[in-house]
Amino acid sequence: MRKRRKFAPEFKAKVALEALAGELTLAEIAAKHDIHPNLVQQWRRHAKESMPDLFSGKAAVHQNSREAEIKVLQAKVGELTIEKDFLAKAFGR
C-alpha cells in the first residue's frame, strides 16, 4: 500500500491558481503535476472559498487566534512535563 503524499501549501496554491485561471482542464493540470484530478478540484474550491477572507481581514484574525491557541497548548505541555518529572523523582523512577 502506498504512503500518502503530503503537499506543501505553496504547491497547493500554485495548482489552485492554475485551475482558477482556466487555461487547462482539471485533468490536464492533474496530469501535469502527477496528482489526482479530485485534489485539483478540492484545492480550487478551497481557494475560491477562502479568497474573500484574504481581503476582509478575517485571515489575520484567524491566524492570531491560532497563534494564541498554540501558546496556550505549549504552556500546558511544559506544565505537564514538569509534573511528570516531579512525580518520577518522587517515586524513584
Q: What is the pLDDT of residues 1-40, one digit of tens each?
A: 778 889 998 999 999 999 999 899 999 999 999 999 999 9
Residue carrying the nine cell digits 484545492: 43
pLDDT, greater one: 65 or 61: 65
Q: Which three cell numbers stand for residue 55?
A: 481581503
Residues 79-88 have a mean pLDDT of: 92
The length of the chain is 93
Kindly report the pTM of this predicted structure: 0.57
- Judge whether 19 and 38 are in contact, CB under 8 Å: no
Q: Which three cell numbers stand for residue 1?
A: 500500500
